[in-house]
Homo-oligomer: A and B are copies of this chain.
């Protein structure tokens, strides 16, 4: 009766279950994560009950234990999901242009898109301290990697003369603050939409560096 949470291992050994079944399981896991992200976004991690998440899916809270060992594991996966999404942007940005200013504009606009279109990015705005110590360390390490990537773009821009001599650390905090805050006010049914928002943020936040 022990459930193995193959999905969590990502590199699933997969020899035990048919790919069809495994794929279905993964889809369901994704649905749970999406419901969880929405709930966490609205009420915070501690303020959200498993009931809240299950309700959005039309099941009982205990059903979730078939997919995740506990509540913290759900939060952990939300963070991994978000980090995975934005982390790829760093490489994309390098391919997108050679100009640091253009790279930064791209990164901001795409990060905003990830935050709004798929709510996938919003976990970055969640409280990290709710994670178990080991998970917390891992997520913080990854998040730092992302922040370092952004700072590198800023530094490159300063070196190339595209940006004035700003403090990269502070600059990145301002950018991430503006973006992460989106999770607090954005309404998918509202009048503001991703492309407009991304462009506006890029204009303001990058424009202020020249």
Interface, chain A (partner B; CB < 8 A) = 42-47, 127, 129-130, 166-167, 169-171, 173-182, 184-185, 192, 196-197, 200-201, 203-210
- The answer to whether B170 and A200 have CB atoms under 8 Å apart is yes
Per CB-CB distance, the 10 closest pairs between chain A and chain B, nearest first, are: A177-B181, A46-B46, A208-B208, A207-B208, A204-B208, A177-B178, A174-B178, A46-B47, A170-B200, A177-B177
Residues of the B chain whose Cβ atoms lie less than 8 Å from the Cβ of A167: 192, 196, 200
Closest chain B residue to A210 by CB distance? B207
Closest chain B residue to A202 by CB distance? B208
Whole-angstrom CA separation of A169 from B182 in the bound complex: 12
Residues of the B chain whose Cβ atoms lie less than 8 Å from the Cβ of A180: 177, 181
> Shortest Cβ distance from A82 into chain B, in angstroms?
15
Closest chain B residue to A209 by CB distance? B204
Residues of the B chain whose Cβ atoms lie less than 8 Å from the Cβ of A206: 208
- The answer to whether B179 and A127 have CB atoms under 8 Å apart is no
Whole-angstrom CA separation of A195 from B13 in the bound complex: 55
Q: Name A47's contact: one of B129, B173, B175, B196 (CB within 8 Å).
A: B129
- The answer to whether A174 and B192 have CB atoms under 8 Å apart is no
Residues of the B chain whose Cβ atoms lie less than 8 Å from the Cβ of A208: 203-209
- The answer to whether A181 and B173 have CB atoms under 8 Å apart is yes
A–B Cβ pairs within 8 angstroms, 21 of them: A42-B129, A43-B127, A44-B46, A44-B129, A44-B130, A45-B46, A47-B127, A167-B200, A170-B192, A170-B196, A173-B178, A173-B181, A173-B182, A173-B185, A174-B201, A174-B204, A177-B179, A177-B184, A178-B181, A206-B208, A207-B207
Residues of the B chain whose Cβ atoms lie less than 8 Å from the Cβ of A210: 207
Residues of the B chain whose Cβ atoms lie less than 8 Å from the Cβ of A169: 192
Residues of the B chain whose Cβ atoms lie less than 8 Å from the Cβ of A46: 44-47
Closest chain B residue to A127 by CB distance? B44
